Amino acid sequence: MNLILIAPPAAGKGTQSEFICNHYNLNHLSTGDLLREVASKDDPKSLEIKELMNKGMLISDEIILDLIENKIKENEGFVFDGFPRTLNQAVSFDKLLEKLNKKIDKVIYLTVDKEVASQRIAGRYVCPSCGSVYNFKPDEEITPCKCGEALIKRKDDNVETFEKRYDVYMNETFPIIDFYREKGLISEVDSSKTPTEVFDDIKAVLD
């Protein structure tokens, strides 16, 4: 099974990907995570990617499609988190899947209000080692990850960059929902519920 998760920033794509991958034994492919790995290097291309991400802007479709092609040749069964993100990526992805004799089974559109997403950004901490995602209340102590590593805040998790990421989402990514709706692949899930309730609704769509 191959799934795509489409949602605004901080709607819970990473959180639900972890549940889905564990339950259905799928591979998690987050272009955000892949790019953060590239951006941690020191060469000029990586530094350029890091700068764009810190401003909340998109990385070129060409770079993204290269990353995806290399990864999906390695394995079967994926949850695509944060990809495709532009109409051009969606169209090119269709061609790539056809070439590799693969297909998308379902596109889950996670909905959440901007205000709720913004609050989730404020409380989010991530593990730089295993990638686990957490949320802490403003007065809560930031405890280490379950793997023992100290948690960090993402560089793009601030109010200004969130605004930019949200605008980019509305302008570039939101239109691809209609692209997949016309193919009959979209299922909408309310992501403002608790993580387990959201996952129960996703399972109801997939089972």
In the complex, least distance from residue 50 CB atom to ligand AP5, rounded to whole angstroms: 10
Q: Does 120 bind ligand AP5 (CB under 6 A)?
A: yes
The residues assigned a catalytic role are 13, 85, 124, 154, 165
Site for ligand AP5 in 65-104 (CB under 6 A): 82-83, 85, 89
Q: Does 14 bind ligand AP5 (CB under 6 A)?
A: yes
Binding partner at 123 among ligand AP5, Mg ion, none, C-beta below 5 to 8 Å by kind: ligand AP5
In the complex, least distance from residue 204 CB atom to ligand AP5, rounded to whole angstroms: 16
Specify the stretch interacting with ligand AP5 by CB under 6 A; choose among 69-77, 143-151, 176-184, 194-202: 194-202
Residue with tokens 């609704």: 201
Q: Which of 26, 64, 186, 189 binds ligand AP5 (CB under 6 A)?
A: 64
> Tokens standing for 6?
């489409």
**What is the C-alpha to C-alpha distance for residues 47 and 29, in angstroms, rounded to an integer?**
22
From the number of C-beta atoms within 10 Å of its C-beta (0-12, 13-18, 19+), residue 52 rates as middle
Kindly report the backbone phi and psi dihedral angles of residue 151, in degrees, each rounded to the nearest multiple of 5, phi listed first.
-80, 155
Residue with tokens 């590239």: 38
Q: Which is nearer to Mg ion, 14 or 84 (CB)?
A: 14
Give me the sign of the Cα torsion angle 74, 5, 121, 148: negative
Q: Does 109 bind ligand AP5 (CB under 6 A)?
A: no
Site for ligand AP5 in 17-36 (CB under 6 A): 30-32, 35
- List of residues contacting ligand AP5 (CB under 6 A): 7, 9-15, 30-32, 35, 52-53, 56-59, 64, 82-83, 85, 89, 120, 123-124, 133-135, 156, 165, 191, 194-195, 198
